[in-house]
Amino acid sequence: EIDWSDIISTVEFNHSGELLATGDKGGRVVIFQQEQENKIQSHSRGEYNVYSTFQSHEPEFDYLKSLEIEEKINKIRWLPQKNAAQFLLSTNDKTIKLWKISERDKRPEGYNLKEEDGRYRDPTTVTTLRVPVFRPMDLMVEASPRRIFANAHTYHINSISINSDYETYLSADDLRINLWHLEITDRSFNIVDIKPANMEELTEVITAAEFHPNSCNTFVYSSSKGTIRLCDMRASALCDRHSKLFEEPEDPSNRSFFSEIISSISDVKFSHSGRYMMTRDYLSVKIWDLNMENRPVETYQVHEYLRSKLCSLYENDCIFDKFECCWNGSDSVVMTGSYNNFFRMFDRNTKRDITLEASRENNKPRTVLKPRKVCASGKRKKDEISVDSLDFNKKILHTAWHPKENIIAVATTNNLYIFQDKVN
């Protein structure tokens, strides 16, 4: 029986890969830290251990609409490290918070007026003066909220993205995108607004948004209709008109009731190089060259066998699942999750793909993962799994790849798996 609040809702490595943050439905953030490499045991990279955990968001009540505001953490994004402390942004549906995570490994001892436990001494008993000194103590990691960016979103926040200027960031909800300055909490600029004057005319919503990794004036946002718009903030203050529109033409004879639903983009991620972007829709992962708007340059089928199951996937709402996707550090491999605790990797150079499983039952620690195969139809070979025996409650929606090494973090419903490639 899974405790609802333990369901992992986001996973993100920091810029160096030393820290890994997870957010859950209970509004908590857990940060893992990679052990510093043991010089003697150079055959494996350091393991990740719990570094800090804190309650980021609490549930709230929207009095105007009588709606609950969930404390679920939708996204976490790290700031690059500038000093000894680490900073991250975490957001739920309505409020974004900037958290400072700092270490304390020394404390002052030898106060004149206070005992070691904090009680004040009777001043009349003080006969000599001494200078307090800092003494080492057990490492304590503290998290404190430094900024709270609230009340800027009428709809539910789905994305936050820090600009390459490291001063501003964007937050996107279903209909609007706002630009914030990290230092200023009482004001934000609206840069995209797709809310129609008449809500009856609503045909699409914003599903994800991200800043370009190098150009601080450029960002993209994806829609529920399968389009991606690239906007340039130098063009105008309100970027309602896109600079580029990425859309793959659809053969109208192929259209079905499900077409629009499965074309809805659940995640968009720029490559580290900034030349490409990747989108995830229900059945596939697409790589787009920013210089070509009329179709993606690469398409990878994640679980095409589900196309003949769309009716039941619509009935059990699985067709609305929002899978994320990620690049490896060199942009040569992309990864995304699927059902039955399977996740998939596609090598863009060799065009080879692999399906792996994140589960304790089938994999012992420190053994190489065995590739999995789903049998779509016909005779099932030994070790293959048939589509009908897939567990659709075991979804891998969130995955992350270490920015520099081949270490991946894969979140099943309420467990976090960290895999690394064999180092010899």
Residues 280-309 that bind another protein (CB under 8 A): 307-309
Stretch that binds another protein, among 68-76, 78-86, 123-131, 402-410 (CB under 8 A): 68-76
- Smallest distance from another protein to CB 312, Å: 8
Candidates 314, 354, 375, 385: give the one binding another protein (CB under 8 A).
Answer: 314
Is there binding between residue 316 and another protein (CB under 8 A)? Answer: no
Q: Quick one: 244 or 394, whose CB is closer to another protein?
A: 394
Is there binding between residue 58 and another protein (CB under 8 A)? Answer: yes
Candidates 126, 202, 245, 292: give the one binding another protein (CB under 8 A).
Answer: 202
Is there binding between residue 55 and another protein (CB under 8 A)? Answer: yes
Q: Quick one: 258 or 392, whose CB is closer to another protein?
A: 258
Place of tokens 């964007």: 170
- Smallest distance from another protein to CB 154, Å: 9
Q: Quick one: 204 or 347, whose CB is closer to another protein?
A: 204
Candidates 1, 122, 200, 388: give the one binding another protein (CB under 8 A).
Answer: 200
- Smallest distance from another protein to CB 204, Å: 7
The structure tokens listed for 128 are 């000599």
Is there binding between residue 204 and another protein (CB under 8 A)? Answer: yes
- Smallest distance from another protein to CB 57, Å: 11
Annotate each residue in 227-266 with x if it binds another protein (CB under 8 A) or - if it does not, as one string: --------------------------xx-xxxxxx--x--
Q: Quick one: 69 or 354, whose CB is closer to another protein?
A: 69
- Smallest distance from another protein to CB 334, Å: 24
Size of interface with another protein, in residues (CB under 8 A): 56
Q: Name the site residues for another protein (rule: CB under 8 A).
A: 3, 5-6, 8, 22, 24, 26-28, 30, 50, 53, 55, 58-59, 61-63, 65-70, 93, 155-156, 174-175, 199-205, 224-225, 253-254, 256-261, 264, 307-311, 314-315, 414, 416
